Structure 1
Amino acid sequence: MTTTALITGASSGIGAVYADRLAARGYNLLLVARREDRLNSLAADLQQRYGIEARTMVADLSQPEGIQRVETVLQEDASIAVLVNNAGAAALSPFLSSTAQQHEAINTLNTTALMRLTLAVLPRFVENNRGTLINIASVVAFHARAGSAVYSATKAWVLNFTRGLQEEFADSNIRIQAVLPAATATEIWGHSGITLDALPEGSVMTTEDLVDAALAGLDLGEPVTIPPVENVQLWEEWEAARLALFSAARNGKPASRYTHR
């Protein structure tokens, strides 16, 4: 049976490139996004170029009904062997400039939908002892700035959620990868409040380079892939510092700076 890759946020940007690259690898596709016209155009193009089957599903994953529709497909379609949780949104602006409802919509899309879709597909992955889960986080998972409180928090959540799953399923054949893009040329900037022109020259990666690097990282077995970082020792040092800090916190008593005053 030909396997299927379900990709969220597939109508443009990173999701559309994942669709192209996975179709080139022979996967059938189930493309999920809000914009039906773009989904249908992409599906028709990929079917014509690669001879695969590309289905579409219109769903708004910031809304409960949209999440539920995709959950049902993930639970019932036994051909789905890859889930790319790519759908996301950002509002890079002062925290007080958005309403609770706007913040909640971003949080739901970036975290709750990702968690629920993962929960919908993992039981079958476990039953088959195979499957691939790709969660798109961001380098802002470990760097929050003014104006990115909610977005950075959601991406830190995605990274920690993914790493927890990697620990939980380490002894299985399920592949689980977190991808951490830096600035990438996608439409998210047009909706975030910051334009690409405002970013330093040379700091923006193309979506094609981003996805190609991420898939190369997946093929290499990387649990965490940060496409633009050349010096992998930086990640290794970050990991060592993180583990040392965690270990130092496990001594059961207050630090002396809090008791000797």
Structure 2
Amino acid sequence: MNALATVLITGASSGIGAIYAQRFARRGHDLVLVARDKDRLDALALRLHEEHGVAVQVHQADLTDAADLSALETRLREDHRIGVLINNAGIAQSGGFVQQSAEAIDKLVSLNIVALTRLAATVAPRFAQSGSGSIVNIGSVVGFAPEFGMTVYGATKAFVLFLSQGLHLELSPKGVYVQAVLPAATRTEIWERAGIDLNTIPEVMDVEELVDAALLGFDRREPVTIPPLHAEGRWDALDQARQGLLSDIRQAHAAERYQP
């Protein structure tokens, strides 16, 4: 019997999710792979079982569908073998804000924010009660870069970062590890699905390198892992500046520059 926690990965049929599945299978973890494309999930599950001898279950789901999301929540709530949640499923945005349809915005927010939050909220009480477990949320550096022009997508990823930081503060004292992983441009199918030509992006990281770096951060228990950030001090300085800003906020009165 496998004593390691089972890892549930959303968006596991390709890209970042599939590489996470390979890496955790290599480490000896049983897996639950979640995505819409069952054929690709089945093929990946069979290969990982044959190569690593781990148990791999497939859970077909469209996480923008209310019934599918609810069914996955039930599984996460009831299957106590699942001790690691990789919240990877997401979609990108092509075009500016004025070009987004209501349907496109709804789908983007439903997958990148609502599904991710609900799945984290489903496992958090169980993890906190047991004093163990890990939640990994895949964000993006676009979440703090409005200059990149992907306004709705960036806003969803800013939410993922804030949520992860808040969960870290709330859950880490209870023994639960929460990690936000912030990639930059990574060579996956998300671009093609969004109608974006990857060849127009000058620098793109290979997905294997991205996941391996993210897992180093996971092993080190980093709250925020930014694989493409080469000057680590930049993130520390940003966080210190944020805390300094908070210390200068006085709630009782408006600042002098706003006084009549």
* TM-score normalised by structure 2 residue count: 0.96
Match of 1:99 among 98, 101, 105: 101
Unpaired runs of at least 5, structure 1: none
Match of 1:248 in 2: 248
Q: CA deviation at 1:23?
A: 0.5
Measured in 1, the distance between the counterparts of 2:254 and 2:242 equals: 19
Asked whether the equivalents of residues 186 and 206 of structure 2 are also in contact (C-alpha less than 8 Å), the reply is yes
Per-residue CA deviations over 1:32-60 (Å, capped at 9, x if unaligned) read 00001110010000000000011101100
Where do residues 60-209 of structure 1 align in structure 2 (5 Å cutoff)?
60-145=62-147, 147-200=149-202, 203-209=203-209
Measured in 1, the distance between the counterparts of 2:172 and 2:17 equals: 26
Measured in 1, the distance between the counterparts of 2:8 and 2:27 equals: 14
Is residue 47 from structure 1 mapped to residue 49 from structure 2 by the alignment?
yes
TM-align CA RMSD? 1.3
Asked whether the equivalents of residues 94 and 146 of structure 1 are also in contact (C-alpha less than 8 Å), the reply is no
Match of 2:232 in 1: 232
Match of 1:57 in 2: 59
Match of 1:220 in 2: 220
Asked whether the equivalents of residues 141 and 183 of structure 2 are also in contact (C-alpha less than 8 Å), the reply is yes
The AA in structure 2 aligned to 1:237 is A
Identity %: 47
Q: CA deviation at 1:251?
A: 4.5
* Structure 1 stretches of at least 4 aligned residues deviating more than 4 Å after TM superposition: none
| Structure 1, 91-100 or 7-16: larger mean CA deviation | 91-100
The AA in structure 2 aligned to 1:54 is V
SS at match of 1:39: helix
Measured in 1, the distance between the counterparts of 2:129 and 2:235 equals: 33
Is residue 28 from structure 1 mapped to residue 26 from structure 2 by the alignment?
no
Q: CA deviation at 1:141?
A: 1.2
SS at match of 1:43: helix
Asked whether the equivalents of residues 11 and 17 of structure 2 are also in contact (C-alpha less than 8 Å), the reply is yes
SS at match of 1:169: helix
Asked whether the equivalents of residues 162 and 178 of structure 1 are also in contact (C-alpha less than 8 Å), the reply is yes
